[in-house]
Structure 1
């Protein structure tokens, strides 16, 4: 069974016909590392599901500083939610960090699937709710935890990313400079 179907069936069960219909509405693409799937200012037309590889979403501020919003590895979804839902130009980039196989589900096909397989609307509502909870938790962590505590939490939650993602991108995700991150990490290693 495909990884995306396994992901869906964590929350809703599909018949064989529904699985076939769902898969017929998706596209599978292979991307090389450093490929940009979405640029700031574009309208996000797809939800991206990672079969293999690693992606990140980020924006670049007026001072040309990157701010990493999310990482997505095997079995995760990613997109510019604001742009996808509003169909207005977004402010995020989505980049491939490691060669990847990605399943693309267009906004149009997703809306059709809601009508043809109503339980998929429940699935995507659950995904959206989980994303909202994770973003709220991350915001609260940024306000109340030290950088060290945020890094420890990141390490527990994303064990598979620690050695695959450049440290400067982890620093950006945590909201610290690469220099501060390097010093903090060295200090933490001395304690262990």
Structure 2
């Protein structure tokens, strides 16, 4: 719980009573490697806070091709957040890439707390706004940058990612073929 509390305090100032209320529904949870926590078509039941491990959110097209959209790792929030907030079935999968430890809180509890505590609702809206900003930046990267520029941008944003995530998932995240990713790795000086 200390890591979650420190993360909240680092990014947002809550009163002691609001912080205690926000921390109250979280419980520890462990998932093995390659475990799907949220399936496409399911309701997102939890908000996760990653303590250890690496996860991804991905989508499948009609032919079954995967596209990795987001990676999560400590210390960050995870899950299919849009499905949690809208209470609609998820369009995506949330999967562990490694054995992972979390704190997780029921989505219903987070929503209830948001309705009764304006300070927590403001904090969560602030977090969602930051996430949306990141998504828009990522869309611009995908639309406007070359493969090499996307790769360099990823390394600038998350220099440690090459040691955390298998390269096939990084290639998918960047929207390039795995073979081209290997060539890119050999060509770009890190």
Does the alignment pair 1:75 with 2:75? yes
Do the aligned residues in 2 keep the contact of 1:12 with 1:120 (CA within 8 Å)? no
CA–CA separation in structure 2 for the residues paired with 1:81 and 1:50: 14
CA-to-partner distance for each residue in 1:31-81, whole Å, 9 max, x for gaps? 111111011111112111101111110011112211001001101112223
2:3 counterpart residue number = 3
1:164 counterpart residue number = 164
Question: Scaled by the length of structure 2, what TM-score is found?
Answer: 0.92
1:27 counterpart residue number = 27
Moved over 3 A (4+): 14-20
Question: Scaled by the length of structure 1, what TM-score is found?
Answer: 0.91
Q: CA RMSD in A?
A: 1.7
Q: Which runs of 5+ in 2 are unaligned?
A: none
Q: Using the TM superposition, give the Cα deviation of residue 24 of structure 1 relative to its aligned residue in structure 2, in angstroms.
A: 2.1
Q: Using the TM superposition, give the Cα deviation of residue 134 of structure 1 relative to its aligned residue in structure 2, in angstroms.
A: 0.6
1:37 counterpart residue number = 37
Aligned length: 190
CA–CA separation in structure 2 for the residues paired with 1:114 and 1:82: 15
Q: Which runs of 5+ in 1 are unaligned?
A: none
Q: Using the TM superposition, give the Cα deviation of residue 155 of structure 1 relative to its aligned residue in structure 2, in angstroms.
A: 0.9
CA–CA separation in structure 2 for the residues paired with 1:166 and 1:12: 33
Distance 1:10 1:117, change over 3 A: farther
Q: Using the TM superposition, give the Cα deviation of residue 17 of structure 1 relative to its aligned residue in structure 2, in angstroms.
A: 4.0
Q: Using the TM superposition, give the Cα deviation of residue 171 of structure 1 relative to its aligned residue in structure 2, in angstroms.
A: 0.3
